[in-house]
């Protein structure tokens, strides 16, 4: 079953499968390390459906859940 | 002249490195075909004078954000001797993508791995020899913040200038082809960067657990903002008073005697118009300088991105993000630095929406006017309620403005921000930032301010035989002509003239009323209490709160947006809003029988 990043709970680790976003956002994301094959860890989510904090490599990022929903992931150990 | 372009991703400490290399001599300049100002400085490296240009931080050479377009246009139009590429040594796993893209430009590069101290701390080791081999460029480790490795970089730069003495144009074909560098990047990273798989929990993680706590985070954010605000204005306000005192003294002791021999009209123009008007605006300078130093601390510490995380759930519904809210809060001290502070936002449309919203923040200048009139007209118990309601109005109208204009301005730019580790800025960096921002404000805004000051002086003094600011002057006649517009708000033409003065700076409104009524201080207060009932007074206060931003704010908006149509909108929208709000209040209150 395809899983998206916004469905992960804090502390979950996953591997990015696909970025279902436009070319421009994809470039920005890959500049920040969000690329297929990259391991992401969810650090925390903000209340009231606010943004989530994730860790990719040595970079911490915040992004809204709407964007996170467009990042397909596969759960990893 | 030889030229080096400094290039890198955001949050790599590129600007700190630029400061290290160039000292305080940097200038902000315009470049053909580019709408944003770039910092550049002339530096002596070895035996040649070189221009070092600090380009905006970019994530990708091929992207279409404003910063990425600026970098591409600059590189297309300006030949350089070589590129100095700055990378964050602790994030090479993704940042090495940039030099791989830049390789295609066919220009010599120097790759600087900055924040070497942080990387070492994280246990990251870099095989620079392998990087040099793959990138075909020298690679050096530096720490711009602590100044380690800077001297070696200078020598390296001088050596490279010797090796590449000619300005070169880039191969623009490299812009067209999209990159397929992911495999190359993976191979490069796995060969040359040795990092522990799991980063040990750091001080930043521990601090974040508190500062980004689901329920404690917001109260702490407001506490921190209050602290910042207090710091700026408790340091800035006495300095502002001191500046006012100094300017007043200068006028009495030197300038008035010197101007004594001049004809009356010219003297009035120089003293009451130019000197007083420009002087009033100059008193903003200390507050701007202090604001920039304090904002540099907040920005450099990494907390600003956290603020965005904390309030984004609320602000995203208004088409804004958390950084806009921080600036709105700053605006309650003074709108001018808050507008300048919107530079931290990358998206131009988001910046504009924020710039439209900030002037509605009840700044300290307006507070002076409100305190005077409220004390004069309202009973002590009603006074606090009146002031509080004005603060509420300020927030409500700012949010309303954002809400109504969000379709027009808010880009679809998704929030995707890096959360850098907490860092302590160095003193040197803060002083440089404060100094530079203040100079930039002066340089950009002075022309506009002089123009506005002269215009208001002319309106309130022409014809010269009329009593200044009296009903026979152009301003008086304009006020008469505008009477049908202002009388539904309960404002007479004398108050309307005071509002015209308030355009220069809102705290001038009280001074203008003193001139117009020919009475000052307590006498003016009792005069106002006699002439205005509370409904009229509150209508005047509402109008003063909302109507056109002051001249300093407007000129800053013009300077920052670089757009006359937008500046006009920033002038006209609050004016319309002020009229509607005052009208609704005054007519509503009268209809209810007050």
Q: Are strands A13-19 and A3-4 parallel, antiparallel or unpaired?
A: unpaired
Q: Report whether pLDDT(B188) > 70.
A: yes
Least confident of A38-47, B54-63, B519-528: B519-528
Answer yes or no: is the ipTM higher than 0.95. no
Distance between CA atoms of residues B134 and B424, nearest Å: 34
Distance between CA atoms of residues B224 and B239, nearest Å: 23
Residue B57 belongs to domain with CATH number:
3.40.50.300
Q: Residue B110's closest CA among B164, B146, B61, B147?
A: B164
Residue B28: its pLDDT value, please? Answer: 60
Residue B29: pLDDT band by 50, 70, 90 thresholds? Answer: low
Q: Which of A47, A57, A60 sits opposite B93 (nearest CB)?
A: A57
Q: Residue B332's closest CA among B293, B362, B369?
A: B362
Asked, for residue B70, whether it belongs to a domain, the answer is: yes
Reduced to 3 states, what is the DSSP secondary structure of residue A24?
helix
Q: Report whether pLDDT(B566) > 90.
A: yes
Structural domain total, chain B:
2
Q: Which one of B313, B318, B347, B423 makes the best mutation probe of the A interface by having the most chain A beta carbons within 10 Å?
A: B313
Q: Is B195 on the interface with A (CB under 8 A)?
A: yes
Residue B493: its pLDDT value, please? Answer: 83
Q: Which of B93, B199, B309 sits opposite A51 (nearest CB)?
A: B309
Q: Which one of B203, B419, B420, B421 makes the best mutation probe of the A interface by having the most chain A beta carbons within 10 Å?
A: B419
Residue A64 belongs to domain with CATH number:
2.30.30.90
Q: What is the mean pLDDT of residues B95-118?
A: 91
Q: Residue B212's closest CA among B51, B102, B322?
A: B322
Portion of chain B with pLDDT greater than 90, in percent = 24
Residue B34: its pLDDT value, please? Answer: 57
Asked, for residue B263, whether it belongs to a domain, the answer is: no
CB contact under 8 A, A30 and B308: no
Q: Which of A24, A46, A59 sits opposite B312 (nearest CB)?
A: A46
If you average pLDDT over each of A18-27, B337-346, B372-381, B566-575, which comes out highest?
B566-575
Domain that holds residue A32: 3-75
In angstroms, the separation between the Cα of residue B306 and the nearest Cα of chain A is 9
Q: Report whether pLDDT(B278) > 90.
A: no
Contacts of residues B71-77 at CB distance under 8 Å and 24 or more positions apart, as own/partner, are: B71/B7, B72/B175, B73/B33, B73/B34, B74/B5, B74/B31, B74/B34, B74/B38, B75/B5, B75/B105, B75/B170, B76/B170, B76/B172, B76/B175, B77/B31, B77/B32, B77/B33
pLDDT tens digits for B377-430? 988 888 888 888 998 999 999 999 998 998 887 665 678 888 888 888 888 778
Portion of chain A with pLDDT greater than 90, in percent = 58
pLDDT tens digits for B65-106? 777 888 888 998 889 999 999 999 989 988 999 999 898 888
Q: What is the mean pLDDT of residues A26-49?
A: 90
Q: What is the mean pLDDT of residues B439-461?
A: 77
Distance between CA atoms of residues B13 and B451, nearest Å: 39
A32 vs B contacts (CB less than 8 Å)? 59, 94, 416, 418
Q: Which of B126, B160, B194 is the last residue of a domain?
A: B194
Q: Which of B97, B305, B312 sits opposite A31 (nearest CB)?
A: B97
Backbone angles phi, psi at A29, to 5 degrees: -60, -45
Q: Which of B194, B213, B235 is the last residue of a domain?
A: B194
Report the mean per-residue pLDDT for chain B: 85
CB contact under 8 A, B313 and A59: no
In angstroms, the separation between the Cα of residue B514 and the nearest Cα of chain A is 51
Residue B123: pLDDT band by 50, 70, 90 thresholds? Answer: confident
Q: Residue B232's closest CA among B297, B309, B278?
A: B297
If you average pLDDT over each of B361-365, B390-394, B572-576, which comes out highest?
B572-576
Residue B35: its pLDDT value, please? Answer: 57
Residue B210: pLDDT band by 50, 70, 90 thresholds? Answer: very high
Q: Is B90 on the interface with A (CB under 8 A)?
A: yes
Q: Residue B524's closest CA among B541, B539, B542, B509?
A: B509
Q: Which of B138, B167, B194 is the last residue of a domain?
A: B194
A62 vs B contacts (CB less than 8 Å)? 305, 308-309, 312, 415-417, 419
Structural domain total, chain A:
1
* Exposed / middle / buried, residue A30 (Cβ in 10 Å: 0-12, 13-18, 19+): buried
Least confident of A62-76, B54-68, B439-453: B439-453
Q: What is the mean pLDDT of residues B439-459?
A: 76
Distance between CA atoms of residues B508 and B500, nearest Å: 10
pLDDT tens digits for A4-17? 999 999 999 999 99
Domain that holds residue B558: 446-591
């Amino acid at each position: 079953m395809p899983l998206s990043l916004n469905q992960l709970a804090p502390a979950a680790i996953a591997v990015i499968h696909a970025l279902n976003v436009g070319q421009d956002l994809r470039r920005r994301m890959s500049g920040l390390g969000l690329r297929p094959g990259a391991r992401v860890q969810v650090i925390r989510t903000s209340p009231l459906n606010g943004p989530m904090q994730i860790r990719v490599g040595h970079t911490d990022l915040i992004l809204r859940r709407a964007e996170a929903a467009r990042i397909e992931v596969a759960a990893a150990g | 002249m030889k030229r080096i372009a400094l290039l890198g991703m955001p949050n790599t400490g590129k600007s700190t490195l630029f400061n290290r290399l160039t000292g305080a001599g940097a200038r902000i300049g315009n470049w053909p075909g580019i709408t944003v100002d770039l910092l550049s400085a002339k530096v002596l490296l070895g035996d040649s004078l070189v221009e070092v240009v600090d380009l905006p931080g970019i994530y990708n050479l091929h992207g279409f954000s404003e910063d990425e377009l600026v970098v591409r246009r600059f590189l297309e139009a300006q030949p350089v001797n070589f590129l100095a590429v700055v990378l964050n040594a602790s994030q090479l796993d993704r940042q090495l993508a940039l030099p791989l893209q830049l390789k295609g430009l066919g220009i010599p590069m120097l790759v600087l791995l900055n924040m070497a101290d942080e990387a070492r701390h994280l246990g990251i080791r870099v095989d620079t020899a392998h990087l040099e081999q793959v990138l075909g460029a020298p690679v050096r480790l530096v720490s711009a913040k602590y100044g380690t490795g800077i001297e070696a970089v200078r020598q390296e730069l001088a050596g490279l200038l010797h090796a590449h003495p000619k300005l070169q144009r880039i191969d623009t074909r490299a812009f067209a082809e999209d990159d397929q560098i992911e495999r190359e990047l993976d191979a490069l990273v796995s060969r040359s960067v040795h990092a522990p798989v799991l980063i040990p929990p750091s001080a930043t993680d521990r601090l974040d657990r508190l500062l980004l706590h689901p329920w404690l985070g917001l109260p702490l954010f407001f506490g921190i903002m209050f602290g910042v605000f207090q710091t700026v204005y408790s340091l800035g306000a006495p300095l502002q008073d001191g500046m006012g005192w100094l300017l007043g003294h200068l006028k009495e002791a030197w300038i008035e005697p010197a101007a004594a021999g001049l004809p009356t009209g010219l003297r009035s123009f120089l003293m009451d118009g130019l000197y007083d008007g420009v002087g009033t605006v100059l008193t903003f300078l200390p507050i701007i300088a202090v604001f920039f130093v304090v904002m540099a601390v907040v920005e450099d510490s990494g907390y600003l991105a956290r603020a965005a995380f904390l309030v984004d759930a609320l602000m995203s519904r208004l088409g804004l993000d958390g950084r806009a809210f921080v600036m709105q809060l700053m605006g309650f001290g003074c709108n001018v630095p808050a507008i300048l502070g919107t530079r931290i936002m990358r998206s131009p449309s988001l910046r504009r929406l924020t710039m439209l919203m900030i002037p509605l923040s009840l700044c300290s200048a307006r507070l002076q006017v409100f305190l005077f009139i409220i004390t004069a007209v309202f009973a002590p118990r009603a006074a606090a309620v009146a002031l509080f309601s004005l603060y509420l109005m300020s927030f409500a109208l700012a949010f309303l403005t954002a809400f109504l204009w969000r379709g027009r301005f808010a880009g679809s730019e998704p929030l995707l921000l890096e959360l850098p580790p907490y860092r302590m800025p160095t003193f040197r960096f803060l002083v440089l930032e404060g100094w530079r921002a203040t100079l930039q404000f002066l340089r950009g805004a002075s022309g506009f301010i002089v123009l506005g000051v002269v215009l208001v002086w002319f309106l309130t003094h022409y014809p010269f035989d009329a009593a200044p600011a009296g009903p026979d002057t152009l301003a008086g006649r304009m006020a008469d002509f505008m009477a049908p517009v202002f009388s539904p708000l309960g404002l007479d033409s004398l108050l309307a003239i005071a509002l015209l003065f308030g355009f220069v700076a809102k705290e001038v409104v009280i001074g203008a009323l003193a001139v117009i009524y020919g009475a000052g201080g307590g006498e003016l207060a009792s005069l106002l209490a006699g002439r205005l009932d509370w409904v009229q007074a509150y209508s005047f206060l509402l109008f003063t709160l909302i109507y056109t931003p002051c001249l300093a704010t407007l000129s800053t908006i013009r300077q920052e947006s670089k757009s006359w149509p937008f500046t006009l909108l920033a002038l006209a929208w609050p004016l319309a809003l002020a009229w509607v709000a005052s009208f609704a209040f005054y007519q509503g209150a009268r209809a209810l029988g007050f």
